[in-house]
Chain A
Amino acid sequence: MRLSPLTIKLLRDVWRLRAQAVAIALVIAAGVGMVIMSFGMIRSLEATRASYYDIYRFADVFAPIRRAPLSAIATVRQIPGVAYAEGRVSAGAILDVPGIAEPVSARVHSLPDPKGLNLLVLREGRLPNPGATDEVVANEAFAKAARLSPGDRFSALIYGKRIDLRLTGTVLSPEYVYAVAPGRSSRTTAATA
């Protein structure tokens, strides 16, 4: 087969520029590899997130209500499209943690129903005993930052009342991937009792 002059020119030019051609090919290959890897990582993260939210039953909708009776949950469950509804008590708190000079803003939730929504992932220790009023678990990242371990005690100011609490474990929650107080980026936590 006889090559056309333009094909010959192409081959000679590529050969003459082989070092640059190889470098460019490597850069392109690295770029393509990065793109493929990035897309793979994004898909993996999305799948992991979906799986995490699915397994730990992350709620789709949150509706803060003041002083609503527990019976209101049954009414909410009757709304078309609602698969499941659960109520909880939630309040802001100021923690006095040993070793931390300034007060810590926190959000305190009642424990979720073990078969309900926003289930906790126990990372260390145990969940509070049912009926125990002074036991709490804390977000794992906060516990590490505050150097708190299961068994440690600290006090909390909730609705103006000082309460002594004991940490029974550290947890993860689908509700708090990154815990931060509304409108703030300072150190904040979520504690569950």
Chain B
Amino acid sequence: MHRRSGESSSGQQAARQCIYRIEKLTKTYGSGPAAVHALRGVDLDVDEGEMFVLLGPSGSGKSTFLNILGGLDRATSGHAHFFDTNLTDLDDDGLTEYRRESVGFVFQFYNLIASLTARENVSLITQISKDPMDPAEALAMVGLQDRIDHFPSQLSGGEQQRVAIARAIAKRPRVLLCDEPTGALDSATGVRVLDALDRINREIGTTVFIITHNAVVAEMADDVVLFGDGRIVDRRSNPARKPPLELRW
């Protein structure tokens, strides 16, 4: 069990479940002399409700690790337990159900449908989820209650990314995986996106992973994991989470 530093916000640090237990996870692309070892044996325990930031240079294995956690890719060896389910044992249907029920994704590019409004983009997900939020509620959580009937082309980059976040959380996932969510945004806009992620983590307890190259972002996390050459080279816990609106880069 990892110490959760966001005590001031949740006060629920006492008995958190381990949401992910990762053991000796490896991922190799190709074979023989041309093989690329993206992950070389990663061990990590993650408690539910934590805010994780993954740092590391390009090619260090962050995105590969996140893709395996999200069921988008398969490990070459090792185990990745999501609660009691070993993701590495699931077939394609099992992974699809896992992604649909438990995981929300946010990518650097928003992947919104241009001909649908913000509300309709979120509705795409709520229609296929078992216990979704109302799309308006999800958009309100990311501060877009006044922009729900706007099309993506009428929204700024930060607003579009927040629609993407609303779309990801509308199905109430247990975990939210964000790969460079602020990579295409300026500082002021990026901070608002991070604030939306922080709010989701605090208010509905979703475990959040954020991949970033921006070390400043690490200050808003409970735990920071530094990747290098396919391995975790450092892991630290912040004594206190810094509010995203106070971050500057």
Contacts and interface: CB of A to CB of B under 8 A. Distances in A.
Contact of B127 (A5, A9, A16): A5
A11 B120 CA distance: 13
Nearest to B113: A9
B201 interface: no
B55 to A, nearest CB: 36
A57 to B, nearest CB: 68
A9 B127 CA distance: 15
A164 interface: no
A13 B127 contact: no
Interface in B72-124: 113, 115-116, 120-121, 123-124
B73 to A, nearest CB: 27
A12 B124 contact: no
Contact of A13 (B115, B120, B121, B123): B115
A70 to B, nearest CB: 83
Contact of B121 (A5, A12, A16): A5
Interface size class of A (residues with CB under 8 A): under 10
A6 B121 CA distance: 9
A6 B127 CA distance: 10
Contacts of B113: 5, 9
A43 B124 CA distance: 51
A50 interface: no
Interface string A1-44: 00011101100110010000000000000000000000000000
B127 to A, nearest CB: 6
Nearest to B122: A5
B115 A6 contact: no
Contacts of B116: 5, 8-9, 12
Nearest to B120: A5
A121 B120 CA distance: 74
Contacts of B123: 5
A12 B127 contact: no
A4 B123 CA distance: 8
Interface string B136-179: 00000000000000000000000000000000000000000000
B115 A4 contact: no
Contacts of B127: 4-5
A12 B113 CA distance: 11
B229 to A, nearest CB: 43
Contacts of B121: 5
Nearest to A15: B115
Nearest to B125: A5
Contacts of A12: 115-116
B115 A16 contact: yes
A5 B116 CA distance: 7
Nearest to B151: A12
A17 B25 CA distance: 48
Contacts of A16: 115
Nearest to A10: B115
A68 to B, nearest CB: 79
A4 B121 CA distance: 11
Task: Return the 4 tightest CB-CB contacts between A and B, nearest first.
Answer: A12-B115, A5-B120, A5-B123, A5-B124
Given A5-B116, A5-B120, A8-B120, 8 more contacts: A4-B127, A5-B113, A5-B121, A5-B127, A6-B124, A8-B115, A9-B113, A16-B115
7 contacts: A4-B127, A5-B120, A5-B124, A6-B124, A8-B116, A9-B116, A9-B120
